Amino acid sequence: MTTSDPKESSSDPSEMEVVSTDPELRIGVFPCKCGKNIGAVVDVDELAEYSKTLPGVVFVQVNTYTCADPGQREIQEAITEHGLNRVVVVSCSPTMHEDTFRKTVREAGLNPYLCIMANVREHVSWVHQHDPAAATQKAKDLVAMSVAKAATLEAQPELDVPVTQAALVVGAGVAGMQAALDLADAGFKVNLVEKEPTIGGIMAILDKVFPQNDCSICILGPKMVDVAKHPNINLITLAEVETISGYVGNFAVRVKQRARYVDIDTCTSCGDCVEVCPVDVPSRTDQSLTWQKAIQIPFPQAVPSSYFIDPDACLGMDLIRCGKCIDRCEQKAIVPSDRDKYIDFEVGVIILATGFSPADPRKIPRLGWGRYPNVITTLEFERLINAAGPTEGSLVRPSDLVKPKSVAIAQCVGSRSKDTRMACSNFCCAESVKCALLVKEHYPDTEVTIYYQDLRMHGKYFEDQYLKAREEGVKFVRGRVGEIQQYPDTKNLRVSVEDTTHNKLLMIDYDLVILSMGAEGRSGNFPIPISCTEDSFYIESHPKLRPVDTSSAGVFICGGAESPKDIRDSVIQASAAAGRAAIILQKGRYPIEALSAKIMQDLCNRCGTCVSRCPYGAISQDGTGKFTVMGALCQACGTCAGDCPKDAIYMPNFTSQQIEAQIEIALREKPEDKIVAFACAFCSYRGSDLAGVSRMQYPTNARVIRAMCSGRYSPRFAQKAFELGAGAVLYSGCHLPADCHFQTGNHWMAKREPRIRGWMKRNNVSEDRFRIEWVSAGEGKKWQTIMSEMANVVEEHKTSLPAPKKATKKAKAKPKPKSKTMKAKPKSKTKPRPKSGTIKKSASKKKKASSKK
Amino acid sequence: MTDQADTNRTQELEELREAARPCFQCGICASSCPVFRVTPEMNPRVAVDSIIASGEISEDGTEWLCAYCLMCDQRCPMGVSLAEILLGIKNIAAKEGKAPTEFTQTLETLADDGCLSPISSRSEKKRVELGLPDLPRPDPVIIQKMLEATSAADVLKINKAALEEASE
Amino acid sequence: MKYAFFPGCTMAYRLQFAEKSVRMVAPVFDIELVDLAFTCCPEPNAVRSMSDDTWLIFAARNIALAEAEGLDILTACAGCHESLSLAKYELDEKPDRREKANEILKGLGLEYKGTSTIIHMHQFLFDEVGIETITSKVVRPVPIKVVTHSGCHLLRPEKVLHVDNAEAPAKLDQLCESLGMESLEYMDKTMCCGAGVRKADSKTSYAVLREKMTSMAMVKPDAIVVFCPTCFISFESGQRMTNKNFGTDFKFPVFYYTELLAIAMDLPDTGLLLAEHRVKIDLPKSKETVEEAEVDSGDSITSSP
């Protein structure tokens, strides 16, 4: 017997019963009493008898506790003995035990996706305690619906894909470096791609870092060398990712590396070339506070330790235009013939650590940066006070190189403002307190005042740093700086700020003003579309439970690219991302969604609507114009199918045919009494279950149809339900805007409302009979309320209005005989071709199973 | 005040309160205010705060000290339109007869001439002297109609009455 | 280009020479000014403080008048410009207010459609005509040092008016420089002159003016250049009251920009304009004008003290 370890079973799909070649439908129905939970309200024996009458059902067995070992064994024995090829367990919620029973049937050699459940506990016995007769009737309907669905279920292969044992880390600031080192130390190959000529990011150009105020490059430098030396890290600088194709476990990456014009292996960083280069450009490292040459090294500790030539600044590496460095270089390291090149490789996982940009002070002109030389940003301050900076660590005013006797620091510049970004940038308060301490360190007599709105010393040890600053005599005034004006002769600055604590206007002169700059997002523009916030920071899969995952499987985010943060938090998050990525790499294989969508090419009219509905980018068009779904990316939400104008997308276990069959069964008797209620698996269905668990009572009108995501609810379903005379229809999904488990399914569902209501209006269906609701997994009460309210609407309409004008399709009393149902879907075109293994005849399987008895 | 006027006032105050709600008391407006610079009475931040905190306008009438230079409006990081809120407060105060004398006088001149300041014969002569054309004047009936159709007619009446009362 | 000219009450009846200067330069730039029966814009502070909807309806009527003639409105006062522009913004963005206004306008035989734009002379000269063209028309450069004051209501709110950068305006400076002036940067350049609070509390208003002029005086300009009659009066006359109240000694000559434009283009009768100023200034002749004067004894542009 195959073990229940999914890894093992999936690595050998040939053991799976893919589909019975026996044209006879052999459905087994297993009603459960669940002790007294179901049995006390629903007449389970009557239910069992009824089940026997349903088409395709060849075996019915009642159990008291079907989920327990004996119950499970009985199912397995029944499969073997009676050659069952479909199983319907009539018991609790699939949320509870769908996986349990799928495992059970898998162990018996039946494809797990041929087993479904009918929920007669959370949806019937627990919520209709006062009306056993109606409850039993409802249970019968639900069983009939499940049996009708079971008739057209198809076996789905459970596949997984191999995972390339390598990772891509984009961005080599402190976060990218940490992630790369963690993965490399864990034994995986890492391709670390960095846009700049050196790694290190912003941290490398800071002076001292809070809260211990240790020297930034001193602690970062050794890490940089580790990255350079690590045998598992392939460092590619001056490079950006150009294209990525593929999916988790199998990404094909193309990187474009710009020409460096200097050979990194030969260059010894001696600096002779700088002496002869005639071109001056504003220094990037020193924030344009000084000049550097066209041939340059960003800073002495750069990794790779090599110079590079800025091609836009360089006059020309030939004898007429210039070429002086070529002559001067004793190592002959200059390479005029260097070209941009493409580097291709494959990886299994991707970590994005592209960081943020310092906020642009030009967006806040009232503070005078750029017009007044003695107004500087925190980053400019870092360079001025840095021993490796333009003034060799001497803090002097840009206008006259004089030591400042009074310094003001203005907080919240570039953050918490509609003109820049509304959110706080996290690190600026601690950064400013640090700057204040550094000023005091250099010049104890210089007066330093921090003008703040809220002083957010939120991190570990931050409060100590603040207390130290107060001890050192740094002043703190609560008020956000309104404007800075410059005295024309002295270039001193006049800061206008209200001391809000004392309701007093202060207009104070300062020698130097430091603007505490926030962060500006620069995420996005990546070959794989990863959603970003409005202010350009990557969006995580779930803010609490999956803070470094993204909605693209195999792609992780960390550091400043995800949201502004300090070094410690960047490192923590980088290790988190590396850990998550390592799980995938380590397993070696990645399971792909078994129920992924399939486009039926004979029905598809190539309108391309589905492409935009998919939040995972799983649908694409190939060179011939054909649209296909990449199974490895598809998460089976069904939103594409919900909007497909031709109903050309096949959602295994949630096909249109299956759903419509359930609608038909639900409405075959007294449709005007019924509410056809659609509930999505992750939110609304769980909410409805919660109503059951909480024993909230409500009328018996609803017949719930489950889908994985509300995106699946096509307008056709509501239409069909009303055509068949439904009393009411409910479309229920996860709350807008951001609760949908599949990112955007609920949004697409909401967009269909006008179409549905338009149809209703044209067909004289009263608008209160259709509702779109947002029910979360915790909103059992809401579900109860909705059920009761809709039951009232149904009652009202029963007593007042006649039947809808459209001719009702005669609901079949019993579905047609088996052969027809079996042939429902043209299998040849839609059956997924299993990637490995073949379809085995059932006979051999049965033999195998029986031999184990 | 009539019931309707009362309801209107409550609603107006509520709207002002909602408009002021995003304020997080940073003080940029105050540091930008030219009037606060010379007199501590007029603090736009405090004016907005009291509307949020008490839902009422302050009794001291400092809102009339606003020079309407719109610096606070321009600079507010939360996009609170202080100028509009202050105008709203002034409107409410005006409806209660609390407008300063000069403002009432200006409104009166507007009602009479359609102009801010009375057009003297001297200024008309100057125009002729400088060779400027006679400007077409609007029909006073039109001006009256516009005043009647909006709240100015009432506001003028209330404030004139208040002035008379005060002078007695 | 035909425009409905909106001088505003202040310019028409208190600073007539400024209006004259606009009408003098208009034909040089091919503007035809049409006079319609406008009311007060109305004044964006006093009237609006008393009644917001009264303000809106007066402004709506003014705009509708111009629309009825198919003309855009050319303003010459910053207050008018802001009042009309903000009213237009309200009417365009808020359909319920627009509906209400149109109900009243209907009774006056008018309708606000939103088809006319409102442009200030500053915008016209800088954006439509352009610095290059203006410079090319300068015959007598005016080599004085000035400080410019664009005015609160020409600059703010920037997102509605779009005239210049509200925190660091530079266009009026460029306009002055094209006439040969040196425009000096000074502190509190965008600060209000205090005119808006003069009615409520004149002493406070002069205190504000004092702050402003102290900053101007720091750079020792020869004159102040404004593009609004209210700012003009506020500075030219207000400084005397400030001196009275605070013992200061401000004696700035003030110019409305088109006056200097008329002078620089050597239009006739500019002496008439300067005669109306309360604080006089001898405009120095530039090198070219000196040469010209030597060649032919042309009319002097100095005015009698």
Q: What is the pLDDT of residues C251-280, one digit of tens each?
A: 999 999 999 999 999 999 889 899 999 999
CA distance B76 to chain A (A): 8
pLDDT above 70 (res C285) = no
Domain ranges across chain B: 3-95, 101-167
Average pLDDT over residues C172-183: 97
C157 touches chain A (CB under 8 A): no
Q: What is the pLDDT of residue A96?
A: 81
Q: Give a yes or no: residue C182 inside a domain.
A: yes
Q: What is the pLDDT of residues A713-736, one digit of tens each?
A: 999 999 999 999 999 999 999 888
E strands within A665-778?
675-680, 702-707, 728-733, 770-774
CB atoms closer than 10 angstroms to residue A402: 12
User: What is d(CA C178, CA A469) in angstroms, rounded to the nearest whole number?
Assistant: 52
Q: What is d(CA A720, CA A662) in angstroms, rounded to the nearest whole number? A: 11
Question: What span, in angstroms and rounded, lies between the C-alpha atoms of C277 and C284?
Answer: 17
C110 is written with which tokens? 């008018």
Choosing among A422, A497, A500, which should be mutated to test the B contact, i.e. which has the most B CBs within 10 A? A500
Closest by CA to C146, choosing from C224, C213, C37, C83, is C224
| Residues 6 or more apart in contact with residue A242 via CB below 8 angstroms | A254, A255, A256, A342, A527
Asked if the Cβ–Cβ distance from A479 to B26 is below 8 Å, we say yes
Spatial distance between the Cα atoms of A400 and A374, rounded to a whole number of angstroms: 9
The tokens of A270 are what?
A: 């001696």
A63 pLDDT higher than 60: yes
Shortest alpha-carbon distance between residue C294 and chain B (Å): 31
**Partners of residue A489 in chain C, C-beta under 8 Å:** 218
CATH number (domain holding residue C103): 1.20.1050.140
Local confidence band at C298 (pLDDT 50, 70, 90 cut-offs): very low
Cis peptide before A304 (omega within 30 of 0): yes
Strand order in the sheet with A504-510: A483-486, A493-499, A504-510
Residues C260, C280, single domain; the answer is yes
Residues of B in contact with A418 (CB under 8 A): 77-79
What strand order describes the sheet that includes A86-91? Answer: A57-60, A27-31, A86-91, A115-119
Q: What angle do CA C160, C166, C168 make, to 5 degrees?
A: 155
Same domain, C179 and C275: yes
Nearest residue to A734 via CA among A722, A723, A749: A749
pLDDT for C301 beyond 70:
no
- Of the residues B24, B31, B41, B49, the best mutation for testing chain A's interface (the one with the most A CB atoms within 10 Å of its CB) is B31
Is C300 inside any structural domain?
Answer: no
Tens-place pLDDT, residues A211-228: 889 999 999 999 999 999
Question: What does each C-alpha distance from C245 to C202, C224, C240, C241 come to in angstroms?
Answer: 10, 21, 9, 6
The answer to whether residue A680 scores a pLDDT higher than 90 is yes
Closest by Cβ to C168, choosing from A371, A488, A489: A371
In a domain, C73, yes or no: yes
Does C200 reside within a domain?
yes
Q: What per-residue confidence (pLDDT) applies to A4?
A: 25
Which two three-digit tokens encode residue A693?
A: 């668990």
> How near does any CA of chain A get to the CA of C168, in Å?
7
Q: How many CB atoms are located within 10 Å of the residue A426 CB?
A: 20
Q: How far does the CA of residue B18 sit from the closest CA of chain A (Å)? A: 18
Q: Give me the pLDDT at residue A545, please.
A: 86
| A829 pLDDT above the threshold of 50 | no
Range A374-391 average pLDDT: 95
Q: How far apart are CA A277 and CA A104, in angstroms?
A: 75
Q: How far is CA A418 from the centre of its chain?
A: 27
Are C252 and C137 contained in the same domain?
A: yes
Residue ranges and CATH numbers for the domains of chain A are: 16-156+813-842 (3.40.50), 166-257+351-356+521-589 (3.50.50.60), 272-339 (no CATH), 360-517 (3.50.50.60), 595-650 (3.30.70.20), 654-811 (3.40.50)
Mean pLDDT of A561-581: 97
- Shared domain check, C62 and C167: no
Nearest-angstrom CA–CA distance, A94 and A690: 13
For residue A192 the two structure tokens come to 């670390």
- Residue A458, amino acid: H
pLDDT at C143 over 80: yes
Q: Could you tell me if residue C302 is inside a domain?
A: no
Task: Tell me the pLDDT tens digit for each residue of A335-360.
Answer: 999 999 999 999 999 999 999 999 99
Please check whether residues C109 and C140 belong to one and the same domain. Answer: no
* Residue C304 belongs to a domain: no
Cβ A488–C185 below 8 Å, yes or no?
A: yes
User: With an 8 Å Cβ cutoff, is C185 touching chain A?
Assistant: yes
* CB < 8 Å to B152, chain C: 47, 50-51, 54
Tell me the mean pLDDT in the region A233-243: 97
Q: Are residues C35 and C182 in the same domain?
A: no
| B31/A416 CB distance under 8 A | no
Q: How many contacts does B have with C, using Cβ atoms within 8 A?
A: 186
CATH of the domain at C200: 3.40.50.11810
Q: Which residues in chain C are closer than 8 Å to A371, comparing Cβ atoms?
A: 168
pLDDT at A315: 95
- CA distances for A289 relative to A382, A384, A604, C8, C15, angstroms: 11, 8, 61, 49, 50
Measure CB to CB from residue B27 to each of A366, A418, A479 and give the nearest one.
A479
Domain total in chain C: 2
Residue C183, in any domain of the structure: yes
Q: In this predicted structure, what is the pLDDT of residue C129?
A: 95
Can you tell me the mean pLDDT for A703-710? 95
What is the C-alpha to C-alpha distance for residues B30 and A480, in angstroms, rounded to an integer? Answer: 10
Residues C96 and C169 in one domain: no
Cβ contacts of B91 on chain C, cutoff 8 Å:
49-52
With an 8 Å Cβ cutoff, are C50 and B103 in contact?
yes
Residue C303 lies in a domain: no
Q: Residue A801: pLDDT band by 50, 70, 90 thresholds?
A: low
The DSSP annotation for chain B comes to: --HHHHHHHHHHHHHHHHHHTT-----HHHHH-HHHHH-TT--HHHHHHHHHHHSS--TT-GGGG-----HHHHH-TT---HHHHHHHHHHHHHHTT---HHHHHHHHHHHHHSSSS---HHHHHHHHHTTPPPPP---HHHHHHHHHHSTHHHHHHHHHHHHHHHH-
On the question of pLDDT at B151 being above 90, the answer is no
In the block, which residue shows the tokens 């319907």?
A: A88
C268 and C196, same structural domain? yes
pLDDT > 90? residue C296: no
Query: Tens of pLDDT along A406-463?
Result: 999 999 999 999 999 999 999 999 999 999 999 999 999 999 999 999 999 999 999 9
CA A108 to chain centre: 36
pLDDT value at residue A806: 55
Sequence-ordered list of residues with C-beta below 8 angstroms from that of C59, at least 6 positions apart, any chain:
C41, C42, C83, C84, C87, C88
A412 CB within 8 Å of a chain B CB = yes
Choose the final residue of a domain: C95, C121, C147: C121
| Confidence grade of residue B163 (pLDDT, cut at 50, 70, 90) | confident
- In DSSP terms, A282 is beta-bridged to A291
The tokens describing A683, both together, are 């939110």
How confident is the model over C18-50, as pLDDT tens digits? Answer: 999 999 999 999 999 999 999 999 988 889 999
**Yes or no: domain B3-95 corresponds to CATH 3.30.950.10:** no
pLDDT of residue A683: 87
Are residues B38 and C208 in contact, defined by beta-carbon separation less than 8 angstroms?
A: yes
Q: Write the DSSP string, A153-198.
A: -------EEE--SEEEEE--SHHHHHHHHHHHHTT-EEEEE-SSSS
In this prediction, residue A835 carries a pLDDT of: 43
Helices marked H in A566-655 — which ranges? 567-587, 609-613, 639-643
d(CA A138, CA A124): 7
* Angle CA A274–A278–A280, to nearest 5: 80
- Chain C positions touching B90 (Cβ under 8 A) are 49-50
**Of A185, A296, A181, nearest in space to A238 by CA:** A296
The minimal CB distance from A365 to the residues C165, C186, C187 is found for: C165
CA–CA distance, A698 with A718 (Å, rounded to integer): 22
C44/C139 same-domain check = no
**Across-strand partners of A730?**
A677, A771
Is the pLDDT confidence value at A10 over 70? no
Give me the percent of chain A exceeding a pLDDT of 70.
Answer: 91
Residues of C in contact with A486 (CB under 8 A): 187
Token pair for C207: 């205190």
Which of C70, C86, C121 is the last residue before a domain boundary? Answer: C121
Residue C245's pLDDT is 94
Give yes or no for residue A816 having a pLDDT over 50: no
> Which is higher by pLDDT, A815 or B109?
B109
User: Is the same domain home to C9 and C97?
Assistant: yes
- pLDDT surpasses 80 at A18: no
Q: C87 CA to chain A: closest CA distance, Å? A: 24
For chain A, the average pLDDT equals: 89
Query: What is the C-alpha to C-alpha distance for residues A435 and A590, in angstroms, rounded to an integer?
Result: 48
Residue that wins the pLDDT comparison between A592 and C222: C222
CB < 8 Å to A487, chain C: 187, 218
Chain C residue with the nearest C-alpha to that of A483: C167
Tokens of C186: 């000074």
C272 touches chain B (CB under 8 A): yes
pLDDT in tens, B16-47: 999 999 999 999 999 999 999 999 989 999 98
A vs C: CB pairs below 8 A? 20
Q: Which of A365, A366, A486 lies closest to C187 in CB terms?
A: A486
Question: What is the pLDDT, as a whole number, of residue A160?
Answer: 87
ipTM attached to this prediction: 0.92
Contact between A54 and A144 (Cβ < 8 Å)? yes
Tell me the C-alpha to C-alpha distance, in Å, between residue A440 and each of A265, A404, A472, C175: 43, 11, 7, 46
Please answer yes or no on whether B65 and C12 come within 8 Å at the CB atom. no
Distance from the B94 Cα atom to the nearest Cα atom in chain A, whole angstroms: 27
Q: How confident is the model at residue A133 (pLDDT cuts 50, 70, 90)?
A: very high
In one letter, which amino acid is B54?
Answer: S
Q: Average pLDDT, stretch A197-210?
A: 95
Structural domain boundaries, residue C59? 2-121
CB contact under 8 A, B100 and C45: no
- Residue C212 tokens, joined: 């402003």
Confidence bin at A804 (pLDDT 50/70/90) = low
User: Among residues A691, A687, A693, which one has the least CA distance to residue A778?
Assistant: A687
For residues A192-206, give the mean pLDDT: 97
